[in-house]
Amino acid sequence: TGAVMLLCRKQKVNTRSSTETELVGVDDAIGSVLWSLYFMQAQGLDVKCARIYQDNNSAILLEVNGRQSSTKRTKHIKTKFFFVKDKIDQGEIEIRKRDTEDMWSDTNTKPKQGSLYRKDRSMIMGCPMEWPNELALAPGESAAMIAEK
């Protein structure tokens, strides 16, 4: 049980590293993530916490451990971006590692081709990876006709 939420918007601040960018991105999305969690709980669904997937190990460490994981390269990050740590400690949010190749939402922001694109498309649309390319079909043939075969 759960919901999938994708956000794609311009960040309001400039960042100095991909780690900081990921941390700011989670901070920007956390309000919507928590609202979704509270909404599902209010509907009677047994959802214990919201799960956020990350592919950046340094961002995961900062989100889970807060300032304790800061190094010389991340000590400039403002404290307000560590709100996620409080929610993790309260058990409302869980951060999980996911490999970059398995982050299917990246299709919205990164150019993907070939099998990576087909894999992500199948996750998003719920279609088989071998779903035919409309441009490669014979004249008069549609993808729906192929799916019925």
Q: Which pLDDT score is estimated for 129?
A: 83
Share of the chain above pLDDT 70, in %: 74
- Amino acid 89: pLDDT: 92
Average pLDDT of the segment spanning 118-129 = 83
| Residues ≥6 apart with Cβ < 8 Å to 74 | 17, 19, 20, 58, 62
CA atoms within 13 A on the CB side of 19: 18
Give me the mean pLDDT over the 42-63 stretch. 89
* 69 — pLDDT class (breaks 50, 70, 90): low
* Cβ pair 41, 91 in contact under 8 A: no
Q: In the predicted model, is pLDDT for residue 41 greater than 60? A: yes
Mean pLDDT value of segment 44-71: 83
CA distance 129 to 62: 35
pLDDT of 1 higher than 60: no
**pLDDT, tens digit, 9 for 90 and up, residues 92-111:** 999 999 888 888 777 777 78
